[in-house]
Amino acid sequence: MDQNIELKSINELFGMNFYIPNYQRGYRWKKQQVKDLLDDINEFINRSKGNHPQDNFYCLQPLVVKETIPDKEKLISELPKEASDGEILCKVKKAIKNNTRWEVIDGQQRLTTIYILLAVLRNAASYSIEYETRKGSKDFLSDIKENKAGENIDYYHIVEGKNTISEWFKDKNDEYKKQFKETLLNKVQFIWYESDEDSIKVFTRLNIGKISLTNAELIKALFLNHSNFTGEDDEKVRLKQYEIASQWDRIEYTLQNEEFWLFLHNLGYTNPTRIDFIFDLMCDMGKLDSFIDWKKDKETDIGTDQYKTFRYFNAYFHSNIAKKRAQNNHIAFIEQCWAEISNIFQTFEEWFNDLELYHYVGYLIENGSKLNNILEKWYGEKDKEAFVNDLINEITKKIKDCKDLSQQYEINGGKFKTVCKPLLLLYNIQTAILQNENNLDNYNLGVFYKFPFHLYKKEGWDVEHIDSNTENDLTKKVTQNEFLLNLYNGVSPDEQKKIEEFINNPAAKNFSDFEKYKNNSTKSLNDDEKNQIWNFTLLDSSTNRSYGNSIFSAKRRIIIGKDKGKLIPIPKIKNNKLVVEEEKNAQSSFIPPCTKQVFLKYYSAAYESPNYWEKSDAEAYRQDMMNTLKEFGVTISKGNSTKEEDNGK
């Protein structure tokens, strides 16, 4: 692959011959699209007049082209039959030049609109465009006549485009038109991208697949453009390009792994190539700034649109190509740039494979920290220990609002479940870290268990009560039925049959048979205690919505089922009859470790009342949470208790 990529002003297109192949539709821009382009250039002109011009140029979408000879028979017919060697060479070159065209794979609508715009502004010399499907299109474009608009749909839209442009300029004076034309010729630029791939495949991807060229693809063309290595030994260049291409593919392959990617990112990234984000980081962090000769300043030279990262790297290449040629060492600046890219990626790999770094960095990303800020800390510290301390300090700031949750409960009027979420997630993550530390020596492994951020982010997690916060008034049939639905999954098959008989009989009065399942023990949590951290855990949103009011034993069975990859449906009442659907494969099978341990009563010294979450269970859960998070200074008060009570005094 040898792709050329650069920025070309409209002025630099003059004298070129463009060819629109028949796999593309004809010219179809409507009035509004033409007007939008004119308005955008006008806005750029006005912005440039200000005291703080934002951009030094107006950048159009990429113009993807391929050098081709569309009419090979015509070329052959022009080749000389008999002539001297000198004449043959001269005539062959002339014939090839006359028949060579730039096949436009993407960008033909803008290219044609700008051609029409130049015609309206009375610019005689320009470039030429010929549509394969309209043999007279080249001549028509050179002299657009309204009376031919009805000949075909392409001519109609071309005439409409010309009229829209003429109308737009109707109230503009000659001075403005001159300024607009000057801007159009010299400051409006295409990203010129020469492709050597199959034209139809590229067109299908860009137009039918609606997948735009990414910054990464444009930057890759810079790295693999053979002209950047002029003067170097061909074999040396080939090996360097192969090395970069191979490493590039490995980086992209690794980033496509969801476990790796969602450790570093939250959901929502839409680019088809993921290596782009490394280039975006380098641009935002200014990793190449000191090697670039800015024309004005960074923001002005690279702009702010979706292709600013490409222009950042393009500026680096153009700033260094001439310097390295003078030193007869072209590859050095390529290696220098690639070393920065590799270093960032290798840093991410190191974090991913390290017990503490993986969990702490992943936690901070999930809770809104910027990856470039974390990288800056990494580069700024002298060793890993100092960096880990930085991460711990940053995490401590993230949970400052939920260190003393009884106080938050009072401030927020009892509605603080969202305040709990960062702490509950940290509890799960720190539990994983401690589990690793306790097992690594035994198993001689780098990481024994990793919290799966990719599953956590994909499934969506809520903070939910362990013991239901809803108390049913059991004096009415409707609330009795609701209680029994929430009870159903937590009892034996014989008891389930009794529940079915009770619900299916509207006149049933024997609810007293089920009173034993209502926890009236003095060991249970009161209403205030149910709204404390010791009665909260993380549940995926589907479980939360479906089973939020189920009793503890029913939730326990459901959680165990999901952990085994089974979805246990909660029963429903339809037409006064109990309906129980069959178990099926679960959409989610990941259960955070602490959630699983809660429903296994892992934290309780004595296993009492398996059907209920009692105060002793809640106390043990709270104490383990404080022990696990003591490094972060977490204090979890018991309702209105004092700090002395919390500290065991």
pLDDT by residue (tens digit) across 97-129?
788 889 999 999 999 999 999 999 886 668 999
Region of poorest pLDDT, from 162-166, 497-501, 515-519, 592-596: 515-519
User: In the predicted model, is pLDDT for residue 52 greater than 50?
Assistant: no
**Phi, psi for 111 (deg, rounded to 5):** -60, -45
Mean pLDDT of the chain: 82
User: Across-strand partners of 163?
Assistant: none
SS3 state at 500: helix
Region of poorest pLDDT, from 175-184, 239-248, 582-591: 582-591
**Phi, psi for 102 (deg, rounded to 5):** -95, 105
pLDDT by residue (tens digit) across 385-398?
999 999 999 999 88
The pLDDT value recorded for residue 185 is 92
Mean pLDDT of 424-430: 94
Which band of pLDDT confidence, cut at 50, 70 and 90, is reported for residue 253? very high
pLDDT by residue (tens digit) across 571-588?
777 887 888 877 777 666
User: In the predicted model, is pLDDT for residue 54 greater than 60?
Assistant: no
pTM of the model: 0.78
The pLDDT value recorded for residue 405 is 52
CB 433 within 8 A of CB 340: no
User: In the predicted model, is pLDDT for residue 39 greater than 80?
Assistant: yes
Angle at 140 between CA 134 and CA 146, to 5 degrees: 115
The pLDDT value recorded for residue 649 is 33
Compare 560 and 352 and report the one with higher pLDDT: 352
User: In the predicted model, is pLDDT for residue 543 greater than 70?
Assistant: no
pLDDT by residue (tens digit) across 78-90?
777 776 667 777 8
The pLDDT value recorded for residue 490 is 74
CB 399 within 8 A of CB 422: yes
Region of poorest pLDDT, from 54-58, 365-369, 488-492: 54-58
Q: Exposure string (b/e) for 498-535, b if CB count within 10 Å is 16 or more? A: ebbebbeeeeeeeeeebeebebeeeebbeeeebbbbbb
The pLDDT value recorded for residue 464 is 83
User: In the predicted model, is pLDDT for residue 477 greater than 80?
Assistant: no
Compare 90 and 250 and report the one with higher pLDDT: 250
Which band of pLDDT confidence, cut at 50, 70 and 90, is reported for residue 247? very high
Task: Record the tokens describing residue 521, joined without a space.
Answer: 């023990």
Q: Measured between alpha carbons, how far is 482 from 472 in angstroms, rounded to an integer?
A: 8
User: In the predicted model, is pLDDT for residue 213 greater than 90?
Assistant: no
